[in-house]
Amino acid sequence: MIRYYGMKYDINLIRLADAMFPDIDQTIEDLEKRYPARHLHSSAEVTRFAPSPTGFLHTGSLFTSMVADKVARQSGGVFFLRLEDTDTKREVVGSDMALVEQMAEFGVFPHEGFGASQQGEYGPYRQSERAIIYKTVIKELIRKGDAYPCFASTEELDELRKLQEAKKLVTGYYGPFAKYRDYHVLDAIKDVENGRPFVVRFKSKGQHQKYIKVFDEVRGSLSLSENDQDIVILKSDGLPTYHFAHVVDDHFMKTTVVTRGEEWLASFPIHLEMFARLGWTPPRFAHLPVIMKLDEGKKRKLSKRKDSEAAVSFFLEQGYPIEAVIEYLMTIANSNFEEWRIANPLLTLSEFKFSFEKMSLDGALFDMQKVMFISKEFIAKLSADDLLDRSIKYSHRYHREMYNLIMRDTAYFRSIVNIEREKDNPRKDYINYASIYDLVGYFYRDKYEPLITTTMFNPLISASIIVTLLSDLKNEMTLEGDESSWFNQLKQFGERYHFAPSNKIYKQNPDRYVGHIDDVAEILRLALTGNKQTPNLFQIMHVLGLKEVAARLQFVIDIFAIK
């Protein structure tokens, strides 16, 4: 045994560490000086979002980042973004910045780190650029005998797994199955110096038959099996695995709370053992509920492959208001959020106090119907000017046909979406911005005309009555006065052709009438819009204008004449 940087080490382990990492000359002590404690209030939390650039931003990932951001901001702390890009085979070019951009669209802005306006002093914030840091720590673990090079080939590992499965044993590299765990140090040095490929494994001291007590911010006290797997901490390509990298990063970046999906709960003992063996105090952990979906009565994870709503881009492309999606995700995040929102309809989300204790212990069900409901409610409360502006921005980016329609006459489009808007209980037709396009198409002549057929009208009312009624409406109807005056006028036209002035009167003596006033309104509605379900007909006619109303009624009359 010799002293090395003030500690006692086996001389052969020092030689092994030097053979494996000849270019690493700094120590953990050097790293501690480089990354000192953050100067924050004692109650301030340091949280992080650590995505992999392997594709689109998952809705579950957005949820996780929102929680981390919320926890940091409400405590006056720091929220940073770290890119976990060590899995180079799965990396998708350009997805790193796409993640940052989509997070920003949903109001999630890291204080520091990758993609932030301020990089911060605890970088680099890409794991692929932190190799020296990881190797410095691993070199120390090698010297202490807490890690070792493993020369097992892929074929050897496959055979080991088959053997364990045949004997119905726990699969993995552990205990008596860890061939290179007790490999003689001198032989290991020789193999390394001869260029034999290796990975580095953590030498676990746990036994899976034993249990440890752990605490989770969401689930409270738990009892989990000790880790006994000698997991890989450095791959043959010189990059670390997630298990090791995040332990090192969260220590040196001074993370106080790790928020991550509950699928990592099984790995919790691995990470706690690493923190302990390195002599580091671990951050607190909050394993968030996985977002689920009900499929044929059974719960399953929201799937990238099966569910369009699993991608954050879906909500952007369909034009769901950002605020509505965030509101919905907050209902998943905390059980008391909806109650708070009802009591505080005008307050911003920043004023809501998030708590891990109010999170669900089970997988949160993603409810698209509820997203739509919240979205409808939100859009209904927008002013016409705001909705016009949002529609232009959305359509310019995602819906060129809608954009072209709006830009024909923006004032006209504004008047369309303002129908039944300026009142205490505004109409709630629009699920998202994309839905507006289909719902307002009939206001434009080129989209209106294909909708009109004679068969859409009530077959119990003769074509001659429909045509003569429409002719009279075309020639005599006015839009002067209020809606009540207009409706009385409509009744008079109806009575001229034996339509009862009300449904109640019609039911008392149906043989006496052709129909009732609602039938008259339907004939006019169909003639002007091609739809049975529309907003307020009187307001529609005002938007169209009397000239266009007359032209459309004549268009329908001509179609009946052709038939």
CATH number of the domain to which 206 belongs: 3.40.50.620
First and final CA of the chain: distance in angstroms? 105
Counting every residue, how long is the chain? 563
What tens digit of pLDDT does each residue of 78-91 get? 999 999 988 877 77
Q: What is the pLDDT of residues 261-313, one digit of tens each?
A: 999 999 999 999 999 999 999 999 999 998 988 888 888 888 888 899 999 99
Tell me, yes or no, whether 149 and 192 share the same domain. Answer: yes
Contact (CB, 8 A) for 427 and 456: no
The token pair at 339 is 């109650």
Q: CA 291, CA 255: separation in Å to the nearest integer?
A: 24
Residues 268 and 142 in one domain: yes
The two structure tokens encoding residue 88 = 């180079």
Whether 326 maps to a domain, the answer reads: no
Q: Residue 123 has what pLDDT? A: 94
Where do we find the tokens 């499929």? 295
Contact criterion met (CB below 8 Å) for 151 and 196 = yes
Is residue 362 scored above 90 in pLDDT?
A: no
Please give the pLDDT value at position 2. Answer: 54
pLDDT at 334 over 70: yes
Backbone angles phi, psi at 37, to 5 degrees: -60, 145
Nearest to 143 by CA among 281, 280, 279, 8: 8
Distance, in Å, from the CA atom of 327 to the CA atom of 338, rounded to the nearest integer, reads 9
Domain extent at residue 514: 448-562
pLDDT band, very low/low/confident/very high, at 360 (cuts 50, 70, 90): confident
Question: What's the pLDDT at 4?
Answer: 52
Residue 249 has pLDDT above 70, yes or no: yes
Whether 411 maps to a domain, the answer reads yes
Give yes or no for a contact between 40 and 18, defined as CB atoms under 8 angstroms apart: no
Q: Are residues 21 and 139 both part of a single domain? A: yes
DSSP category for residue 289: P
What interhelical angle do 368-380 and 322-333 show, nearest 10? Answer: 130
**Chain segment 449-477, per-residue pLDDT in tens:** 999 999 999 999 999 999 999 999 999 99
* Predicted local confidence at residue 443, as pLDDT: 98
Give me the pLDDT at residue 3, please.
Answer: 54
How far out from the chain centre does Cα 529 lie? 37
DSSP string of 404-436? HHHHH-HHHHHHHHTTTTSSSS-----SSHHHH
Q: Of 250, 265, 288, which marks where a domain is finished?
A: 288
Domain co-membership, 222 together with 259: yes
Q: Which of 93-102, 179-188, 212-221, 340-349 has the lowest mean pLDDT?
A: 93-102
Average confidence (pLDDT) over 144-150? 97
Give the global pTM.
Answer: 0.88
Q: Residue 1 — very low, low, confident or very high, per pLDDT cuts 50/70/90? A: low
The mean-pLDDT minimum among 87-96, 197-206, 506-515 falls in 87-96
Q: Is there a domain that residue 467 lies in? A: yes
**Tell me, what's the pLDDT at 7?**
61
Name the residue with tokens 């790995």: 267
What is the crossing angle of helices 433-440 and 410-417, to 10°?
Answer: 100
Mean per-residue pLDDT, 212-221: 95
Q: Would you say residue 315 lies in a domain?
A: no
CB atoms within 10 A of CB 73: 17
Lowest mean pLDDT among 16-20, 37-41, 362-366, 505-509: 362-366
State how many domains the chain has.
3
CB-side neighbour CA atoms (13 Å) of 183: 23
Domain shared by 470 and 491, yes or no: yes
Handedness of CA 303, 103, 114, 68 (dihedral sign): negative
Check pLDDT > 70 for residue 8.
Answer: no
Q: Is there a domain that residue 538 lies in?
A: yes
Give domain status of residue 60, yes or no: no
The stretch 155-165 carries a mean pLDDT of 96
Q: Are strands 147-150 and 199-202 parallel, antiparallel or unpaired?
A: antiparallel
Mark whether 554 and 417 lie in a shared domain.
Answer: no
Q: How confident is the model at residue 194 (pLDDT cuts 50, 70, 90)?
A: very high
Task: Name the pairing type of β-strands 284-288 and 257-261.
Answer: parallel
On whether both 503 and 424 belong to a single domain, the answer is: no
Residue 320 within a domain: no
pLDDT over 80 (residue 26)? yes
Residue 485 in domain: yes
Calpha distance 70→521 (Å, rounded): 52
Report the C-alpha gap between 469 and 160 in whole angstroms: 87
Domain boundary among 288, 315, 348: 288
Would you call 169 helix, strand, or coil by DSSP? coil
Percent of the chain residues past pLDDT 90, beyond the cut: 87
Half-sphere CA count of 414, side-chain side, radius 13 A: 10
- Specify the 3-state DSSP secondary structure of 49: strand
β-pair partners for 257: 284
How many other CB atoms sit within 10 Å of the CB of residue 109?
15
The three-state DSSP-derived secondary structure of 362-376 is CCEECCHHHHHHHHH
pLDDT at site 93: 81
Q: Are residues 539 and 415 in the same domain?
A: no
Q: What angle do CA 455, 456, 461 make, to 5 degrees?
A: 80
CATH at residue 518: 1.10.10.350
Tell me: do 162 and 254 sit in the same domain.
yes
The DSSP H or E segment spanning 284 is strand 284-288
Together in a domain, 178 and 275: yes
Q: Above 80 in pLDDT, residue 547?
A: yes
CB count in 10 Å sphere of residue 507: 11
pLDDT at 5 over 70: no
Reduced to 3 states, what is the DSSP secondary structure of residue 201?
Answer: strand
- By the 10 Å C-beta count (0-12 exposed, 13-18 middle, 19+ buried), 419 is classed as buried
Whether residue 183 sits in one domain with residue 153 = yes
CA 97 to chain centre: 16
pLDDT of residue 304: 80
Tens digits of per-residue pLDDT, 90-129? 777 878 888 899 999 999 999 999 988 778 999 999 999 9
- Count other Cβ atoms within 10 Å, centred on residue 132: 14
Say whether both 482 and 549 belong to one domain.
yes
Q: Report DSSP state, residue 257.
A: E
Q: Which of 260, 288, 316 is the last residue of a domain?
A: 288
pLDDT greater than 80 at residue 369 = yes
Mean pLDDT of 321-326: 96
DSSP letters spanning 509-563:
-GGG-SEEHHHHHHHHHHHHHS-SS-S-HHHHHHHH-HHHHHHHHHHHHHHHHH-
CA 516/CA 499 separation, integer angstroms: 5
